[in-house]
Amino acid sequence: MGKSAFCLAALAVLAAVVAEELYSDMFDHINPDDILPNDELRNQYYNCIMDTGPCVTDDQKYMKEHAAEAFATKCRKCTEVQKQNLEKVIGWYTENRPDEWTALMQKLMEDAKKMNISPV
């Protein structure tokens, strides 16, 4: 293999690694500002992720499926909307429910460890 062919092959592999797939944006329209002030709805999402209640909606199930990885990798695969929404959620919980936030962080880190996802 010539030098240029090798370089092209190496660049193709690098591009494949760099172009990591993002999480689906199908639930990006859900606004945490509509959920966080609503105790019943917020607790439903929280309990779903914490395994203390059922995951009722498809978006809750999707969030639970990806929450540990997203948290451990600092949202590396998140869309820009997901990153912004996560910042809102973190801000709200750290300000209003710090004990719940601490418990959630611990749960997500434990789940990530079980899935062999290294924190960033």
CB 85: neighbour CB atoms within 10 A?
A: 20
Q: Where are the alpha helices (DSSP H) in the chain?
A: 3-18, 32-35, 39-50, 58-72, 80-96, 98-114
Residue 8 has pLDDT above 90, yes or no: no
Hey, what CATH topology would domain 32-115 get? Answer: Antennal chemosensory protein a6 (1.10.2080)
Residue 17 has pLDDT above 90, yes or no: no
Provide the mean pLDDT of the chain. Answer: 88
Q: What is the pLDDT of residues 90-115, one digit of tens each?
A: 999 999 999 999 999 999 999 999 99
Residue 78 has pLDDT above 50, yes or no: yes
pTM here? 0.79
Q: Give me the residue spans of the domains in the chain.
A: 32-115
